[in-house]
Structures are given as structure tokens and as C-alpha cells.
A = this chain, B = another copy of it.
Amino acid sequence: MISKKYSSMLNNTSIIREFAQYASKRAAEIGAENVFNYTIGNPSVPTTDDFNKGLIDLIQNEDSLTLHGYSPTLTIYSVRKAVADSLNRRFGMEYVPEDIFMTSGAAGALAHAIRCVTEPGDEVITFAPYFPEYVPYVDGTGAVLKVVPADITSFQINFDAFLEMMNPNVQAILINSPNNPSGIVYSTETITHLAQILTEKQEEYGHDIYLISDEPYREIVFEGTDSPFISKFYDNTICCYSFSKSLSLPGERIGYVAVNPKCKDAELIINMCGQVSRFTGHNCPSSLIQLGVAKVLDETSDLSIYEKNKNILYKELTAMGYECVEPGGTFYMFPKTPIADANEFCNMTAHELDLILVPGDSFMCPGHMRLAYCTTTDMVERSLPLFEKAIKMCK
């Protein structure tokens, strides 16, 4: 019989997707150049030449059975070593290959990390605003996602609300910095305070609490932003990384779990990742893609357009009267909507101006809207008069 769990999910349509589909429909009707589509967080710059050249080199010169053969259960050792070395070089860490497990992007990394450190029924705490896919990601593990309300003045952590929600059933804290949708980067002060609380709570509850750090936007940080390497601050940190944004490879599904070498169970957790894979049908990312990224670990695509677009939008929108916390990274910003009902505002701009924004309700933060400005600068500039019209229509 058809599974009730998965068939019922088909009725829960995603609001992000609805707005994105409306943008596509309008593009077909009036031409893509007349639609101002800020809905989807898809990288807009190509991957690096070095990455593509590296793939071709592998295909032409590596033995077929080695290149396309099974990865070991714990993924390709030389790739794990290259990732550890790169993290050590860049962030002054002491990872060994045994701390690294290659995954199908950050989604795969989170699926493994959460399963390793929770039992069904345990609580995982995250902070609004947050990526809505965290709901199925955590639900799929059997754990329960609890959400700390946003601090909308800074989009740093609302520590008072967090402390109220902490209890001995909390086994993991899930954070995402630089953050989708706010674009905010957690400061050294925020991470230090969080680490201090978790250390105290571990002691108080008598069990480990893991900090699961979802970092696909780590490489997209703007000038002057304090951007600490999170694993440095707390031993029980599991970093979940993806190359989707840094190398513009979202379709290749490549990322990793890196367990802090100071975590006493680091190697055990990585070994368990190999067991989780058997349960989920994951069984390693593509071997070609694993070997391909290992050649370009210290590189990124040219990400400068994201900062350029942010600078224009932040300056112009705030001048028009929009209230917004300035993003420190990513390719998102998350202004307040001029009226309290973000759905009403976003429906209005979509239908009257072909300016397609996503209401903050999707990210558990009403009264805001997400702009994904991984678009051309031309589109950003041509959209400015529409933002001006929109705010005037609300007065």
C-alpha cells in the first residue's frame, strides 16, 4: 500500500516553490527580462575552469576501474585526507582523514550527522529564521525539531529564548551561519557565548550535546564581517559542508561531514556515518566528483557578484525606507516587509509588479521577506524602481 507519510507530504506545497513557479509562469508569458525573480538560491556564476579541467584530466588519465570503482564505505581516503589538510591549512585545525566523511551535499551531511547523535524522540534545537528543509531533514531521522524565535534586531541568537527551551532531552543544536535566509554571520561573541552555554549544559545534564553546523555559505562572506570558524569554539562540533555554493556545483551533490578532532567520539561518529548510509541508500557521492573537488579545495568560483548585488540592494532599499539588518554573507537578505503581513505584501509585488519575493513565514519569521540576489546585477538595478513603487503602495 502507498505510504501515508510520503504521499501526504505531496499536499504540503512549499510557498517558496509556489512563488518560484509563478515567476517561471510569468517569464513564459511576458519574457524573463520582465520578471524580477528573487525566489531561488541557485548559484549564478560558473564553476572554476580548474574544476572542469581536473575532471577531464581524471577521465582521460585515471584507470577506469579506479576512477569509477566503488568508494570504500567511509568514502575515498585520499579525498578525506585532502579535505582534512585543506581545513587545517585554512583554519588552523588538526583534522585527520578519520574525521572526514564525504556526502551528497549538505543535505546528505545533515542526514548522517543528526542520525549519528540522536535517538528517535530526542530534541534538536535550531534558530529562526531557518531553511525550511530542516523540517523534513530532522523529521526523517526520528528526532524532533524545536525552533528558537528570531532576534529580529540582529538575527544573531536570541539567547534568553534559547535558554528557556534547553532541557535534558536536547541532544543537538543545529545552526546555519552564514545564514539562509537572513544573510547574517554569527559573530565571535555569539559563538563564544553559545559554546559556553553548551559546555555548561553538558555538565548539568551529564551527556554530550553536539553542535551541528550547516556551512554551505562559509565561503561567501563580505568585506569587514567577523566570520569565525565555528568548530574552533566547541569540541563537540560536527561541521556539515557543501561545495554547492562555493564552487557552484549544487547538482553534483558533494559535501562532507567533518567532526572536530577534539570531539572524543570523532572517529566513532565517522565510522557510524558508513552505517547510516546503508540505511538511507546513500552509499557515497560519485567517485569522479569526490576526486574532482579534492583537486580544487582551496578555490572558489568568482563570488564577487553576490557582494556587489548586496551592496546595491542594501544601500538603495534602506534609502527607500525598508528596514533591513545588513547581510555579512550568503546571497540572501531578509528585510522587514512594509506591512505586517508578508504574504500579502509578496503576493501584491508578484501580481502587480512582477517582483517576486518570498514571504518570511516560510522561514518561521513572519513580517519579513527573503531576496535571493544570486542574479544578474542588471536585474537588481532594473528592479529598484519596483521596490520603490512597492513601499509607496503601502503608505
Residues of A within 8 A of B (CB): 1-7, 9-10, 42-44, 46-47, 52, 55-56, 59-60, 63-65, 67-71, 103-105, 107-112, 115-119, 122, 133, 136-137, 139-140, 171, 207-208, 248-254, 265, 268-269, 271-272, 275-276, 278-289
Contacts and interface: CB of A to CB of B under 8 A. Distances in A.
B288 A251 contact: yes
Contacts of A60: 52, 56
B64 A272 contact: no
A3 B122 CA distance: 11
18 contacts: A1-B118, A1-B122, A1-B208, A3-B118, A3-B272, A6-B272, A6-B275, A10-B275, A46-B64, A55-B59, A70-B250, A104-B104, A105-B283, A110-B281, A137-B281, A253-B283, A280-B282, A286-B286
Nearest to A207: B1
A108 B104 CA distance: 12
Given A64-B47, A279-B140, A115 B3 contact: yes
| Residue of A4, A107, A253 ringed by the most chain B CB atoms within 10 A | A253
Given A3-B119, A6-B116, 20 more contacts: A2-B265, A3-B116, A3-B272, A4-B119, A9-B275, A43-B69, A55-B59, A65-B248, A67-B251, A68-B248, A68-B251, A108-B283, A109-B281, A140-B280, A251-B287, A252-B286, A253-B283, A254-B286, A285-B286, A289-B289
